[in-house]
Amino acid sequence: MSFNAILLAKDANTGFSASLNKINKQQLLAQEGDTLIEVQYSSINYKDALALTNKSPIVRQWPMVPGIDGVGKVVECASGRYQQGDMVILNGWGCGETHWGCLAQYTYLKSDWLIPLPNNLTPYQAMVIGTAGYTAALCVKRIVDFGVKPEPGKILVTGASGGVGSIAIALLAKLGYQVTASTSKINDSDYLTGLGAVNIIDSQTLKLAGKPLQKELWSAVVDVVGSHTLANVCAQTQYGGIVACCGLAQGMDFPATVAPFILRGITLAGVDSVMASYDKRIAAWDLLSQHLDGEILAHIGNTITLTECVDSANKMIAGQIKGRFVVDVNQ
C-alpha cells in the first residue's frame, strides 16, 4: 500500500524541500505508534506553516510528514482502546515535529493521543476547529473557570482574524460575552462581526512599547501575539482580570513590568494545547461541540488540497489569510 503525503526533507546538499510524495505502509509503520488511521481531513495551523516554510526550527527529525491536526477512521488499533471504524481526532503531541503527522492519507499514532470525534461534529467541522479552535477553547475555559461573567466588561481577542482568534470570538460570543477583536486586517470587519465581535481595533495600537499601567479596558483577554502586545494588554486589563496567553505571533519576548500583577492583581494564564491531558481535551471539545454551530464553522472554514499546503503556509506566515484552512487529504 502506498499513499499521498507531504514530506519535508533537509540535507546539506539539497537544502530544505516540501513536496507531495508517495509513502509506503512500511515507512509509516516504522514510526512509534499502535493505531493506524485513514485520514479524512487535516488543517494548516501556524506551527504547520512554520514547518512547511522552514521559517522556524519546528521539525526535529528528518524526513517529516507535517500536520499537527487530523481526523479520520481507525483501521486497526493494537492497544484495544479504539475499534476499527471509530472516528478519532488528533491535536498536537509532537506530530509534525518528532513524529509523522496528518498531512497524509494515512497516519500511525499512539492511541493515548487520540480522542473520539464528538457525535454532533462532522469530520470536516472538527478540522475547521482543529488545534487552533481547541486551543481557543482551552483559553475560553480558563476565563470562564476564573469566574469572569459576561456582564462586568469587555473581552479582548488579539490576532482576531487567525484560527485561534476566530474560534475564540465565536465561542465567547455564543457564551454571551462582549468581544472586541484586535486585528491588522481592518478590512476583515465583516468577517469578524459575523463571528460575533461587537468592536474592532487596529492591532498596531498594541504593537509598540507602552506604559506599565494603562487605562483599564478588559475584564479578560485571549492573546495569541505575545511581545509588546501581551505587555500592553496586561497593562490594560481591569483589576482582578485574567489574560490567557497561547501564542507568539509577534515574538517570544515579554517586555513588561510587574505593575499590573502587584497593583491590579491580574492573572497571566499560560495555555498549552500540545501536551494537555485527555480530560482537558475532552472538556475543551465538549465546549466547542455544544456552542459552535455549522453556520459559524462554515463562515470560518476554507478547503484546500495537499498540493496547496505550501502556498497556504506562505500566505499564513505573511499574514494574508483569515479563518481556518482545512486540508482534504484525498483531493
pLDDT tens per residue across all 331 residues of the chain: 899 999 999 987 778 999 999 999 999 999 999 999 999 999 999 899 999 999 888 999 999 999 999 999 999 999 999 999 999 999 999 999 999 999 999 999 999 999 999 999 999 999 999 999 999 999 999 999 999 999 767 999 999 998 899 999 999 999 999 999 999 888 888 999 999 999 999 999 999 999 999 999 999 999 999 999 999 999 999 999 999 999 998 999 999 999 999 999 999 999 999 889 999 999 999 999 999 988 999 999 999 999 999 999 999 988 888 889 999 999 8
pLDDT reported for residue 188: 82
Longest dimension (CA), the chain: 63
Prediction pTM value? 0.90
Domains in the chain, please, with CATH?
2-117+299-328 (3.90.180.10), 131-270 (3.40.50.720)
Sign of CA dihedral 200, 249, 261, 142: positive
Contact 236, 218 (CB under 8 A): yes
Cell digits of residue 171: 465561542
CA atoms within 13 A on the CB side of 294: 5
Q: What does the pLDDT read at residue 13?
A: 78
3-state secondary structure of 204: helix
Residue count (the chain): 331
Rounded to 5 degrees, φ, ψ at 318 are: -80, 0
